[in-house]
Amino acid sequence: MEPGEAIPPNIVLTGPLSDPPTDLLPILKEKDEKLSDWLDQALKDNQDVVYLSIGSEAKWRDWSVKALYHGLKKLGVKVVWSLKDFEIPVPEDPNFYVKPWIPQIEVLAHPAIKAGLTHCGFGGVNEFINASVPVIAWPHFAD
């Protein structure tokens, strides 16, 4: 994310310090077995899954929750949504897995996840890049 330049031979570059994505799936199963099984079934059924999270500081608005819900319904994808303080228009929609907290690094490692919406904070962007998940950017603040 910075311009390329020559570095001295005594410097070793490191990337994101999270585990490789394939090592994270058993951790997802431990943290949220229901979500892990839901994602596994989506993969088995060849259904694309989109992950939505705007972090803990940015806030959803009623209009944004409704607009994203209806737009994603039209796309025909399944959705994992880290959403607190709001409900989606149809809370029991089987194509939406909604909880106030989602284990983000582990979810991004799942092969069913095809894209994700994020507020573009530095940590989250690195997690998306590490998992090779395309980003739909919804920046807030100075992101």
Q: What is the pTM of this model?
A: 0.84
**CB under 8 Å to 101, separation ≥6 — which residues?**
82, 84
Q: What is the sign, positive or negative, of the torsion defined by CA atoms of 81, 96, 74, 88?
A: negative
**CB under 8 Å to 20, separation ≥6 — which residues?**
none
pLDDT, mean over the chain = 89
pLDDT given at position 113: 98
Q: Per-residue confidence at 114, pLDDT binned at 50, 70, 90?
A: very high
Q: Quote the distance between the C-alpha of residue 68 and its chain's center.
A: 15
Domains of the chain: which residue ranges? 28-137
Q: Per-residue confidence at 143, pLDDT binned at 50, 70, 90?
A: low
> For the segment 13-58, what is each residue's pLDDT rounded down to a tens digit?
665 566 566 689 999 999 999 999 999 999 999 999 999 998 877 7
Work out the percent of the chain whose per-residue pLDDT is above 90. 66
Average the pLDDT over 103-125 and give the result: 93
pLDDT given at position 3: 67
Alpha helices in the chain (DSSP H): 25-31, 33-44, 62-75, 104-108, 122-130
Tell me which fold the domain 28-137 belongs to.
Answer: Rossmann fold (3.40.50)
pLDDT given at position 19: 59
